Structure 1
Amino acid sequence: MTQRANAEFPSGQRGERCRGWLYEPEGNGPFPVIVMAHGLGGVKEMRLDAFAERFSDAGYACLVFDYRNFGASEGAPRQLLDIGQQLEDWSSAIAFARLQPSLMRSKVVLWGTSFGGGHVIASAARDQNVAAAIAQCPFTDGIASALAMDLRSSFKVTAMAMVDMLRGLVGMTPLMVATSGPPHSAALMTAPDAHGGYLALVPSGVSFRNHVAARFALNILRYRSGRRAAKVSCPILFCICETDSVAPAGPNRRYAKKAPCGEIRRYREGHFDIYVGEAFERVVADQLDFLKRHVPVKGPAMSKKETT
């Protein structure tokens, strides 16, 4: 039976703690491990446990974590989304996984969804020792995502972002903008399927804040993680939603084709549909097939160096 324990590790110069869960499958380790994190403003309770349970049932350990400033992790100001800081958190999570005696340091897989899917591409390009990666409905191109945004919402959010940037320069508390909202509202995601789809991922009883510091919007255009796909040397699976309203499918397909060992699976659903129901079953099945082919649970005997 799968066991889940709380886990935490330091990240950044101040050593703030990222907190999450470590799933370990039944049996004797060490196990291949999948490092997992969410997307824009998301926390681990928003269906990452559902994916991790399936992977663990198949024999993979899973380290699921919240970014600093979000969820159970430390860090202030709360809800401040800093791209560089989140990439640091990925590096810290990978390093932590490699130090655990029950996990296989040579079989670390990265799994990210939405904005986290973009982080997976960037992290796999930077760390050439990663065994494989899965980028689910990944955010690959800030310009493409910005162009897909409702024009009225874009103007509102940009104004709030500029105000928040000025507030930050003088040490004031952040001005928050909604992560998801109705069409034409001041929110980062305002497509017709965004607000309901995003909030539907939050289970009852979980403390969740549907906002982030508005200054983040000024950095969206500059983040084009898809450009790093050509430098990802490990096998990487791109799960692309063809009717994605947040991370447009066209740029995702173009970047995915540049990955030397890239594979593409396409789904007719939208950005928020593949976390639940029949679409969830299909995407998990595809991801497990990819994992079993490229990072099998039972592989060649490890050297003594790998197990110590």
Structure 2
Amino acid sequence: MATDGHTDFTRSETSFTSGGVRCAATVFRPTTADVAPLPAIVMAHGFGTPRAMRLYAYAERFVAAGFIVCVFDYRYFGDSDGEPRQLLDIPKQLADWRSAVDFTRTLDRVDEKRIVGWGTSFAGGHVLTLAGNGLEFAAVIAQVPHVDGIAAVRAVGLQHVLRVGPSAISDGIRALLRRPPLYIDSVGLPGTRAVMVSPDAITGRDRLLRESGLRDGDYPETVAARILLKIWRYSPGRTVAAIGCPTLVQIMSEDAVTPAAVAQRAAEKIRNATIRFYPGGHFDPYVDPLFSTVVADQLDFLDENVR
């Protein structure tokens, strides 16, 4: 198969184990006669979203540029195993990231010293956290990253916190009692009971589904509400000053989910940061017309820092 007339590639479905749980992964490989080791990119999606939601579009651009790409789903989400479903556990997701990187290093022809961490939204925070805590990436790409839990809570406002608070508390109690989760929508419009709320949330999600060839109901669009009791404490920006590898941070000017000013302040603490700003909201980078510009900047960054 091929994309946009570029280098042919193969795509295979596989998996790795993290914490005893099978995590689904898709591996893209260039088909070339060259046997030299290749750089690799490890990718995962944001808050409660499976890898099938437009990440393959990025992966196809990267493999056409000569990278091996591993795109994975966290345990409890997408095509991965684990119960209960739709449980967002931050330490376990970070462990899944480490397992995915270790797995990618074992793939044939991967140059284990040239592994790139690529994350978007919540996963953008994950790759920053991992790089800031010693995981040896050759480079990091953090697209619209979550960097400050308290800032994220402030962005949605007190009324929204009060709206979703009872669900969070109820599910926290259910967790203590080892009962099935109480779920809440991952995205919604302002005034609704959902985690990420913005005027463009529903239209953004629908475009992601449509552009990915998915339909409503292909994947659950909920998350266990207990994460709302913890998300305010998760601030990847606290450790970004320790990041030593080249890092691209891509920020949307009208981002209502991960505020631009907060992301910029965090990015400026990174010693070797490239910061790019774009007009639009949190869901715009994944689809055209902005997608082509965003991924072109990622490819330029990779060409300069990883080749």
Q: TM-score range by the shorter chain?
A: over 0.9
- More deviation in 165-174 or 196-205? 196-205
Tell me the amino acid that sits aligned with residue 47 of structure 2: L
Q: Does 1:287 align with 2:290?
A: no
Q: Does 1:244 align with 2:255?
A: yes
Structure 1 position 198, deviation (Å): 2.2
2:42 to 31, 35, 38: 35
Q: Does 1:6 align with 2:13?
A: yes
Tell me the amino acid that sits aligned with residue 243 of structure 1: E
Structure 1: where are the runs of 5+ without partners?
297-308
Tell me the amino acid that sits aligned with residue 71 of structure 2: V
Structure 1 position 294, deviation (Å): 0.5
* Contact 1:150-1:191 within 8 A present in 2 as well: no
1:180 matched residue in structure 2: 187
C-alpha separation in 2, matches of 1:140 and 1:158? 22
CA RMSD between the two structures: 1.2
2:30 to 25, 29, 45: 25
* Contact 1:189-1:195 within 8 A present in 2 as well: no
1:158 matched residue in structure 2: 165
Q: What CA deviation, in whole Å up to 9, does each residue of 1:57-91 have, x standing for no partner?
A: 01011100000000000111100000000000000
* Correspondence 1:159-308 to 2 at 5 A: 159-202=166-209, 203-205=213-215, 207-296=218-307
What's the secondary structure of 2:208's corresponding residue? coil
What's the secondary structure of 2:119's corresponding residue? strand
- More deviation in 176-185 or 106-115? 176-185
Q: Does 1:83 align with 2:99?
A: no
C-alpha separation in 2, matches of 1:199 and 1:89? 27
1:107 to 92, 110, 114: 114
* Contact 1:128-1:233 within 8 A present in 2 as well: no
* Contact 1:40-1:115 within 8 A present in 2 as well: yes
C-alpha separation in 2, matches of 1:156 and 1:100? 46
C-alpha separation in 2, matches of 1:149 and 1:63? 33
Tell me the amino acid that sits aligned with residue 24 of structure 2: R
C-alpha separation in 1, matches of 2:189 and 2:239? 33
2:66 matched residue in structure 1: 59
What's the secondary structure of 1:148's corresponding residue? helix
4+ residue runs over 3 A deviation: none
Normalised TM-score (structure 1): 0.93
C-alpha separation in 1, matches of 2:178 and 2:268? 44
Structure 1 position 179, deviation (Å): 0.5
Structure 1 position 99, deviation (Å): 1.4
C-alpha separation in 1, matches of 2:24 and 2:46? 16
- More deviation in 203-212 or 154-163? 203-212
* Contact 1:152-1:185 within 8 A present in 2 as well: no
What's the secondary structure of 1:180's corresponding residue? strand
- More deviation in 178-187 or 150-159? 150-159
C-alpha separation in 1, matches of 2:222 and 2:185? 4
Q: What CA deviation, in whole Å up to 9, does each residue of 1:43-68 have, x standing for no partner?
A: 11110000000011010111000000
Structure 1 position 191, deviation (Å): 1.1
2:5 matched residue in structure 1: none
C-alpha separation in 2, matches of 1:179 and 1:101? 37
C-alpha separation in 2, matches of 1:91 and 1:187? 29
Structure 1 position 170, deviation (Å): 1.1
* Correspondence 1:123-162 to 2 at 5 A: 123-162=130-169
C-alpha separation in 2, matches of 1:70 and 1:236? 27
* Contact 2:207-2:287 within 8 A present in 1 as well: no
Tell me the amino acid that sits aligned with residue 117 of structure 1: G
Structure 1 position 11, deviation (Å): 0.4
C-alpha separation in 1, matches of 2:55 and 2:95? 20
Structure 1 position 128, deviation (Å): 4.4
C-alpha separation in 2, matches of 1:199 and 1:155? 27
Paired residues in the alignment total: 294
Structure 1 position 150, deviation (Å): 4.3
Tell me the amino acid that sits aligned with residue 105 of structure 1: E
2:21 matched residue in structure 1: 16
What's the secondary structure of 2:152's corresponding residue? helix
What's the secondary structure of 1:62's corresponding residue? strand
Normalised TM-score (structure 2): 0.93
**In percent, how many aligned pairs have the same letter?**
45
1:303 matched residue in structure 2: none
- More deviation in 129-138 or 146-155? 146-155
